[in-house]
Structure 1
């Protein structure tokens, strides 16, 4: 709270001690406790991505020790996935909501800055944490271990706290979990004799198991040459591995031949069903190295630094697909239930219906790098009796992001001439993969034998003369070539700013200028206009540059020692995600999705207005209330429509497939209110004084214009987000309950409001308790998602389910040692 109180701008700070009060293991999970933060979740229900103040994820920069780390996700997002970074290798995290001129200006929503710990004591400080846990959905265990050690050395008269400080933290976490899912992501409009309705033509059931391992390491060395000269070097390494196994069932109605009978049941004689296996080995890594030098020459303070980060994501994956080669009758009774189910054929259990169909080896790699060099100088002076500081600086950063598929990627089809050899009866696995799928709503049925299915295809790879499969050369070439991009952005920036303290007033005025040079490479895929298959690949390159001028004015007024008001008028911009800019095309055969890049995308530009009042309480608490407004021009949004055949040459070969592309909107207005309260209730009588509360609430409203649609909600904007924690401490025992609420928001804009895709509101309840045995040992237990809150998405209206995932609850118990 002291850092937050003394800051010149609007920010929230969460310390390592505060992070330790929650059952949160990664950075995204910890960030969700702060006002204005919305998180997205990975395939295990853990927090993974962060959005601020109702804006898209790429409007927020993710930093380590003040510099941006690169995203490495498959979708080319700029914002790094935060499930890879364990929170217990950090000293603190900041959410910076109003940027000062000395901070990068390419973050409309703000910055999240993770800080490495440094040694603070001449005595050795050592902590150890070990725990074991349980994941309910897959009835599997999890384990955690953390260790940290730090000490300062060589105390002198000039440096009584030691000339050298060394600090190291390590973290390990392993878990076997997963999710159950039902999805219906293909809705087609049809008139069944009355009015036209949206009909779910494709329903899929998924049973997924993940074995995740997360490792983290941070190390810091700081050298104080004198009271005014220092060098700090940081290193941080994070690694997140996952071994995934996915079983998927799919039924596909042929909408053109589907009718509604007298009982209201939707019936088709020409349906298909699929039984699939997918395996994947995923490795997500991030490395950061940072060096910072500071000195003072009389009244001039100089600091300079260099930073390098590299991120990678490697996936080796295969999807093995069996299908009903002949059409089968299917029927759906209720299309407005979350538990959509097609009946009419025993596709869940009858292996004789299915034959080996296709194999898609969708291996892929991404790399992200950011190299930074910077220098700053500040000069302290007086205006009368008022202290002031003039600061200026410059920075160059080079960001490089690339994505490609190796030549091992492949699409192959089973040789149907071999007949019964490829029947699922020869590859059937567990007769019942899950008897209580989707929180007990249904069962999964027969699974595919993992080893037999993969070995059968690998035999073909070792000896293609077997002719059990035929490589789809055009499909493979299109999959590999269309996936590639290589993007380089070089940003040169400079700023000036002046800070003046007038008794109770603090004023900052400044200007930042950023010039960006862009160089993108991709592939243009030429397709047969009739068949819609790959014909040729043409490498393409796009270069552009732009300059942004970012004025900045901020003020702080101290009403008294514990009460203040902050205000800011700032300007910022945000670049599109890398993949959205590249002139390429990605064709996903099994998902029936085509995604195009858009090299004409422009950066979004925003005018920002903020006002915040803060009251700091004597018992280490705070009350705050603020409002914010953003006027955003040329915002980016994800568009998804159904292909009609006119979108690009060859589109006629993909009729009714989903077509994704990111576009620029015209303008958006975002208005919001943030309320925050944190207090230890020590003023209450008796045992009640042991209670503490933390609560925050954010309201956001937006109005955006995009293409032919007006007055939209900005994609990613949740109207309501809230957190609440109630804890009780007495004689070493602490018990705490936590609630997190994220309101619904638009994920993807469709051609009209009926086709918008929403992420539904979600409430998660967690609990944790600890008991301090003595000054050395503490035992603890933690549990998350106690009410089995699912992640749910819907198409157009709430009764049209698009996707629903269940994770159940998970938890752990352990012991901590401190020296």
Structure 2
């Protein structure tokens, strides 16, 4: 394989510390783009021979065609950085079958991902929630259309991204926003190469459940002519994945029945006393009834998810000398998804049901919280549902930036202007057929199940199409615009001051950002063959809509969590039948909201070098000032003034601002040959989600509550410090250990902030269910703080150091362990860690390679974590998950390479539970994925 390195000497007065530093930019980090390059500006030569500037650069690595050599380069760059950081190993991206950028990052120290139906979707750093991670591409905060701060990585193809670093200890020059860490992503530039370059790849992947074959292609082309250069890259992939899931098994408090009108309440109380010996003292006392639990719903579901993803980059660069560079970069992408969900569910807490017989209850497992769980119950009128759901979502992404790098008169000047935007349109439909009948619902070892009740009129819910009546075909549309603009100007000056020789350079600058989000929403309900018609309600049955067996409708055969098959209406039939000519889902003006956020940040920092005895010590001190203004506008429902039922959307707006000072300190010292001591301390913040800030009100009719936005939210802040030792081995290996501590204040969580009395609630067929008091929940900055401490260990070892016979073998492993103070987010005071925080995570890769052949196997593990707090009372956990991936490659010659890869080799399932594993909520299979590919580098 040809290397195309562009070298320049490192001009540093203390070359010992930087002796292993390399200047590298990942320019082929795409799966199937085996490009190798090193760039002049990855560790720029500092004016006056200042090494500190080089150490502040982000770690990057180049694709070299050798996994071992790429690991060595990553080690070199980690050593040269003044702060704590880790870099993606480019060859790891190129040779593993990662489905998107999130999965490409998961083998970095301290990095884990959240999976959704077998696909990596969000990135977590050091076990902290995904929204605590700041992400930028080409130094621009990245729009995704989600409205949150966490980036949805599934919209980005890994092939068009060239350089990724996780910075864990910020300097004042880094944009604030990463309590867990900051992920910096760069795309390639033409002067990263010193000759024309073209690379291409093609692959096909197979999912083990549905048997579909999915193609993927990509290419990169780059050339320079005189002072100018141009580069383009492109990637396109299709993915079809089936997921089988026994899920939706939530806790429901007994107040659902005990507060009901008529005889439902008294019967529930009598059955509790008769079958479980539970005497309810006050049926309206929520603190009492919220601790008596029954099973809300059991759902057997099959998802078929089809994705069409593409991404492209373009770069035009003008570089007349090593002291001047002007570049224009563009990035485009599209992520279109179509998901069919087929659901057979039993809703125990229906509006006309109550307890019939308690067959089994558990007063022991959660007794320390004063809770009794009814494990096995028959109900009088369970709402059995056959649901055909269809989701379309189209996300278009684009980003433009222009960057100036100029060294003049002893100054280094950097300037950036850019824009990042995303548009996301979604269309959702749900065809709902319902049958009310007695049934028995209970927990199983892995989830839940519904059985025919012994009472009269019980029936087989999976094979009774003629008993299900059409209720509605519901549709929703949502349109989101996410726009972010930024401008930054930086100045750096190297110094040689006789009166203060330790001060080697100063740097200062400013950054202005303007972010906005707009959201439109609408929904409607079809109950007949035309607009306003209700002709089909309670007259049209499931059997009238041409149902088929689910094992025939969805490719892949039988349902995996259990031995079930059921009749269902295909979504293609539902769309043709129920969307009559002229149908359109109208937008609801009252659901519109817009949030604008403008930020000005100023920073200054200084670099120092001193020799303490024989130990060279580098330090960076800085402070960042931020000033933020937020404007939020939307609508709020106000009860009709004329006394009629219903609410009128009323325009509402608010403005707010906040400011802060964020100091930072980073220090590096080589205390012995190859032994580096690092220390860092800083204050940083994470801004609240734009969705949480927005004036909006959504409703959960089944939970009897409104969820409002809160424009008065302030950022979540953290004071953090870290200390670590790193041993760099002569063979390119690394052993590292660090201890970090974070004190986090102002965590955003949902809290009860009001009650809306006498809210009219209708059944799906339009009949009156009743009038209820609805709780109002809002995101608020919680009082107090919590502390997270942790240890991170890294071992990167070529095994030839143990014996010559192990030449070519090696390991790359990392481990993160957290300890956190409990936050008490549950309204029932159930001790609960922060949502999204996993206390343990580790990655282990074993590899072998020679000139022709390479093989790797990698195991990634993430400990259990709280996904959400159900009804703000019951923490729901995603169970610990480990997955094995593998890759084999064979190089035919210097140009061509074949690869065979596998994701989730052992077909691991994902699972979850509420509070205790004996109350499972999810048992899900997404299958393994095997990929055959070929790639070429010309």
State TM-score, norm by structure 2: 0.79
- The CA deviation at 1:461 is 4.7
- The CA deviation at 1:246 is 1.5
Deviations 1:687-716 (A, max 9, x none): 422211111110111114457749642222
Instruction: Measure the CA separation in 2 of the matches of 1:672 and 1:632.
Output: 14
- The CA deviation at 1:557 is 0.7
- 1:689 maps to what in 2? 807
- 2:229 maps to what in 1? 165
- The CA deviation at 1:487 is 0.6
Instruction: Measure the CA separation in 2 of the matches of 1:9 and 1:803.
Output: 41
Judged with a 3 Å threshold, the aligned counterparts in structure 2 of structure 1 residues 689 and 136 are, in CA distance, closer, same or farther, namely same
Q: Provide the secondary structure at the position in 2 that maps to 1:579.
A: helix
Instruction: Determine if the alignment matches structure 1 residue 183 to structure 2 residue 280.
Output: no
Instruction: Determine if the alignment matches structure 1 residue 205 to structure 2 residue 303.
Output: no
- 2:692 maps to what in 1? 580
Deviations 1:451-499 (A, max 9, x none): 442233222755x9xxxxxx9xxxx88xx35643211000001011001
Instruction: Determine if the alignment matches structure 1 residue 267 to structure 2 residue 363.
Output: no
Judged with a 3 Å threshold, the aligned counterparts in structure 2 of structure 1 residues 109 and 650 are, in CA distance, closer, same or farther, namely farther
- 2:3 maps to what in 1? none
- 1:10 maps to what in 2? 84
Q: Provide the secondary structure at the position in 1 that maps to 2:487.
A: strand
Instruction: Determine if the alignment matches structure 1 residue 423 to structure 2 residue 541.
Output: yes
Kindly indicate whether the alpha-carbon contact (under 8 Å) linking 1:351 and 1:428 is maintained by their aligned counterparts in 2: no
Which structure 1 residue ranges, 5 or more long, are not aligned?
A: 155-162, 465-470
Q: Provide the secondary structure at the position in 1 that maps to 2:560.
A: helix
Judged with a 3 Å threshold, the aligned counterparts in structure 2 of structure 1 residues 337 and 305 are, in CA distance, closer, same or farther, namely closer
Judged with a 3 Å threshold, the aligned counterparts in structure 2 of structure 1 residues 81 and 419 are, in CA distance, closer, same or farther, namely closer
Instruction: Measure the CA separation in 1 of the matches of 2:360 and 2:814.
Output: 50
- 1:736 maps to what in 2? 856
Instruction: Measure the CA separation in 1 of the matches of 2:759 and 2:537.
Output: 33
Q: 1:125 aligns with which of 197, 200, 217?
A: 197
Kindly indicate whether the alpha-carbon contact (under 8 Å) linking 2:636 and 2:651 is maintained by their aligned counterparts in 1: yes
Instruction: Measure the CA separation in 2 of the matches of 1:337 and 1:656.
Output: 35
State TM-score, norm by structure 1: 0.90
Q: Which range is displaced more, 569-578 or 421-430?
A: 421-430
Instruction: Determine if the alignment matches structure 1 residue 755 to structure 2 residue 865.
Output: no
Deviations 1:731-757 (A, max 9, x none): 4111111111110112223577x6112
- 2:94 maps to what in 1? 20
- The CA deviation at 1:511 is 0.9
Instruction: Measure the CA separation in 1 of the matches of 2:317 and 2:112.
Output: 35
Q: Provide the secondary structure at the position in 2 that maps to 1:356.
A: strand
Instruction: Measure the CA separation in 1 of the matches of 2:646 and 2:714.
Output: 29
Deviations 1:706-731 (A, max 9, x none): 57749642222111011011112244
The two structures, once aligned, show a CA RMSD in angstroms of 2.8
In our comparison, the structure showing a higher alpha carbon Rg is 2
Instruction: Determine if the alignment matches structure 1 residue 505 to structure 2 residue 614.
Output: no
Judged with a 3 Å threshold, the aligned counterparts in structure 2 of structure 1 residues 110 and 420 are, in CA distance, closer, same or farther, namely closer
Deviations 1:533-553 (A, max 9, x none): 742101111110010111111
Q: Provide the secondary structure at the position in 1 that maps to 2:575.
A: helix
- 2:782 maps to what in 1? 665
Judged with a 3 Å threshold, the aligned counterparts in structure 2 of structure 1 residues 141 and 39 are, in CA distance, closer, same or farther, namely same
Judged with a 3 Å threshold, the aligned counterparts in structure 2 of structure 1 residues 182 and 228 are, in CA distance, closer, same or farther, namely same
Q: Provide the secondary structure at the position in 2 that maps to 1:123.
A: coil
Q: Which range is displaced more, 421-430 or 99-108?
A: 421-430
Q: Provide the secondary structure at the position in 2 that maps to 1:362.
A: strand
Q: Quick check: which one's strand share is greater?
A: 1
Kindly indicate whether the alpha-carbon contact (under 8 Å) linking 1:205 and 1:444 is maintained by their aligned counterparts in 2: no
Q: Provide the secondary structure at the position in 1 that maps to 2:248.
A: strand
Instruction: Determine if the alignment matches structure 1 residue 700 to structure 2 residue 818.
Output: yes
Judged with a 3 Å threshold, the aligned counterparts in structure 2 of structure 1 residues 543 and 778 are, in CA distance, closer, same or farther, namely same
- 2:318 maps to what in 1? 223
Q: 2:748 aligns with which of 629, 636, 639?
A: 636
- 1:457 maps to what in 2? 578
Q: 2:441 aligns with which of 322, 325, 332?
A: 332
- The CA deviation at 1:599 is 2.8
Instruction: Determine if the alignment matches structure 1 residue 609 to structure 2 residue 721.
Output: yes
- The CA deviation at 1:363 is 0.9
Q: How does 1:79-90 map to 2 (within 5 A)?
A: 79-90=150-161
Instruction: Determine if the alignment matches structure 1 residue 149 to structure 2 residue 257.
Output: no
Instruction: Determine if the alignment matches structure 1 residue 70 to structure 2 residue 143.
Output: yes
Instruction: Determine if the alignment matches structure 1 residue 789 to structure 2 residue 863.
Output: no
- The CA deviation at 1:637 is 2.9
- 1:353 maps to what in 2? 467
Kindly indicate whether the alpha-carbon contact (under 8 Å) linking 1:597 and 1:661 is maintained by their aligned counterparts in 2: yes
Deviations 1:344-365 (A, max 9, x none): 4222121111122112211111
Kindly indicate whether the alpha-carbon contact (under 8 Å) linking 1:770 and 1:778 is maintained by their aligned counterparts in 2: yes
- The CA deviation at 1:240 is 1.0
Instruction: Measure the CA separation in 2 of the matches of 1:750 and 1:589.
Output: 15
Instruction: Measure the CA separation in 2 of the matches of 1:598 and 1:173.
Output: 39
Kindly indicate whether the alpha-carbon contact (under 8 Å) linking 1:348 and 1:446 is maintained by their aligned counterparts in 2: yes
- 1:158 maps to what in 2? none
- The CA deviation at 1:779 is 0.3
Kindly indicate whether the alpha-carbon contact (under 8 Å) linking 2:656 and 2:712 is maintained by their aligned counterparts in 1: no
- 1:395 maps to what in 2? 511
Which structure 2 residue ranges, 5 or more long, are not aligned?
A: 1-73, 255-271, 279-290, 362-375, 454-458, 762-770
Q: 1:410 aligns with which of 524, 536, 561?
A: 524
